[in-house]
Amino acid sequence: MSAQEELLQRFLDAASRGDSAQVSSLLSNAPSLLDRAGRNGWTALMFAARNGHIGLARALLTSGCDRSPQNASSQTAFDIAKFWGHTHICRLLLSPDPGQDPGLDPGLDPGLDPGLDPGLDPGLDPGLDLDSRTGASQRFHETFFSAEPLDRLSAKRPDQEWIKVRQKDPDSVFLLFHKLNPMIRQNPESASALFRLIRFRYEEVKDLLERPGSEVVFLGVDRSQTQTQTSNPEPRAWFALGSDLDQEELLKRSKDQNSSFPKNPHRDLLRLSEAEAGLVAQSRSVLAWHSRYSFCSTCGGRSRAEEAGHKRSCENTTCISHQGVHNTCYPRVDPVVIMLVLHPDQNQCLLGRKKVFPPGMFSCLAGFIEPGEAVEAAVRREVQEESGVLVHKVWYVCSQPWPMPSSLMIGCLTIAVTTEITVDQDEIEEAKWFTRQQVLESLLGGSCPAFVVPPRQTIAHQLLRHWTGLSANL
């Protein structure tokens, strides 16, 4: 064994043990060791990832270590950490700032997205915002918009007296919406959540509650059973209030001069904290339903809201909608399949781009499920219609509420049985096969990414991360 080979072996052995002091000492004398690979293509970062050495992994990344190399089994350091359940290492490897605390206990299940922070935004005002203790019950939601910071208390919705009492409670919170968009303000206290929701008390919006054209939806109550901020024995209630007043009139009600309404909800709502995004997903979807179903779909008569905004009934007492199973109308949810199509060799995936996408961005194929159609059948049909590729087996991965206005994205993986692409120009303008390495480099923000990945808050982004984390023979 040559001196160089012996030095590399000592370096990799120290990395495997997590001996940061010896690794640092060897690097100071031989910086070229940082990304050198030993037997089977394993680097120091891979050994740190294999054994869960978070301090060493952070030090290597801070020194400029490359995250993207693959070993002889085509696995990156992220793959290795994901396989062995080292979620804290996964989060660090996916973070653009290696000096940032990954913030998750190493014993937790890595789940779908080790890059997301499922806790509540620590920068929120404790006087009016979500109780931080609800974070314990929300640690495992997988996708943006899916957080459930409130107990919805659906059994209380028909109790009109209870709802009225809670609306007038001085501790209750109202979120004000205009044309489905919540009133927000900039949030300089948080680097991850650039906007936050404006909260109102009953006295500030009570005139709007009885105003024609307003819709009020009971969202739920704080999950915490103990209220430290008030003497109220009941958890704080939350409501969404949709108003048709002019934006400027509504903005005058806020004490914050920086209050506004999102100009681009597809972009701006992704910049809320995860807990607040969960509130918006529930609020926006129900308010969108009210705005589209103010008349009975059976007889055309006017309908009225009931059950604290979660039901509509026809005001025409002779309408047949009052008979049998058609006596009520509930908020609709539109199911959508979104799928990552894998090449038969399972080392490539099929992505497409629509004309409305930003330059260079590719995403997963998607489409609405039709009546009487199973999820698996919808996946096969949509992939064939959009790309001409035939697929066989389908696996469910995760779901995401997408309040634009009320879709439920059902994320799947599927394996192709054909590879020739014939694009349906009405659906997408281009579709391509991308290698796993290209996807990894694009996710990790390499110097020459093959494509622009969808925002991390989207389920398409999470499906890509999920696939790159699947590996074998580790």
Domain coordinates in residue numbering, the chain: 3-94, 150-326, 334-469
Q: What is the phi-psi region of residue 247: left when phi exceeds 0, alpha when psi lies from -120 to 50, beta otherwise?
A: alpha
- DSSP H helices, 149-301, are 160-168, 202-209, 247-251, 265-268, 274-292
134 within 8 A of 224, measured Cβ to Cβ? yes
The reported pLDDT for the residue numbered 396 is: 94
Does the domain formed by 150-326 have CATH 2.60.40? no
Report the pLDDT value the prediction gives residue 224, as an integer from 0 to 100: 65
What CATH number belongs to 3-94? Answer: 1.25.40.20
How far is the C-alpha of 310 from the C-alpha of 3, rounded, in Å? 73
List b or e across 368-392, with b for residues whose CB sees 16 or more CB atoms inside 10 angstroms: ebeeeeeebebbbbbbeebbebebe
Name the pairing type of β-strands 334-342 and 348-353: antiparallel
At residue 340, the 3 state secondary structure works out as: strand
User: What's residue 229's pLDDT?
Assistant: 52
φ, ψ of residue 260 in degrees (nearest 5)? -160, 175
18, burial (CB in 10 Å: exposed 0-12, middle 13-18, buried 19+): middle
Whole-model pTM over 0.75: no
Tokens linked to 227: 């209220």
Distances (CA, A) of 400 to 120, 187, 309: 18, 25, 22
Tens digit of pLDDT per residue, the chain (474 long)? 788 889 999 999 999 999 999 999 999 999 999 999 998 899 999 999 999 999 999 999 999 999 888 888 778 898 888 878 788 888 888 876 666 544 433 332 333 333 333 222 322 232 333 333 333 333 344 689 999 999 999 999 999 999 999 999 999 999 999 999 999 999 887 767 899 999 999 999 999 998 988 999 999 999 865 444 555 678 999 999 999 999 999 999 999 889 999 999 999 999 999 999 999 999 999 999 999 989 998 899 999 999 999 999 999 999 988 888 766 788 989 999 999 999 998 899 999 999 999 999 999 999 999 999 999 999 999 999 999 999 999 999 999 999 999 999 999 999 999 999 999 888 899 999 999 989 988 988 877 899 999 999 999 999 998 898 775 333
CATH topology of domain 334-469: Nucleoside Triphosphate Pyrophosphohydrolase (3.90.79)
CA diameter of the chain: 94
